[in-house]
Amino acid sequence: MKREKEIGLPVTGHASRVTRPGAVRAALLGLILMVGTALPSAAYDVVEVRNGGAITGTVTLEGPVPAPKGFNLLTFPDPQYCGRISNGNGWRLLHEFTVDAAGRLGDVVVMLEGVETGKPFSLSVPHVEARDCRFLPFVTVVRDGHAIEVVNMDPVMHDIQAYETSTNLGARVLFNSPLAMNFQHKRGDLHAIHDHQPGKSMLGPIDLSKGRRTFVMQCGFHAFMQSWALAIDNPYYAITDASGQFTLTGVPPGTYRLVAWHPQAGPMVAQMITVKPNGTMTASLSLKAPVGRRTVHQVVENPRFGPGVLGYPLEIVPLVERQR
Among 18-27, 166-175, 193-202, 293-302, the minimum mean pLDDT is found in 18-27
Does pLDDT of 81 surpass 70? yes
Q: Whose CA is closest to 44, among 248, 252, 229?
A: 252
Q: Is 255 helix (H, G, I), strand (E, B) or coil?
A: strand
Query: Residue 115: which residues within 8 A CB-CB, separation 6 or more?
Result: 44, 234, 236, 251, 252, 254, 256
Q: Answer for the pair 224, 87: CB distance below 8 angstroms, yes or no.
A: no
pTM of the complete model beyond 0.85 = no
C-alpha 128/C-alpha 135 separation (Å) is 6
pLDDT digits (tens, 9 = 90+) for 107-120: 999 999 999 999 99
Domain ranges of the chain: 21-38+51-291
pLDDT digits (tens, 9 = 90+) for 176-215: 888 888 877 776 777 777 666 555 554 444 566 666 788 8
What does R_g of the chain's alpha carbons equal in angstroms?
21
Mean pLDDT for 288-303 is 79
CATH of 21-38+51-291 given 2.40.10.120, 2.60.40.420, 3.20.20.140, 3.90.950.10: 2.60.40.420
Q: Answer for the pair 142, 37: CB distance below 8 angstroms, yes or no.
A: yes
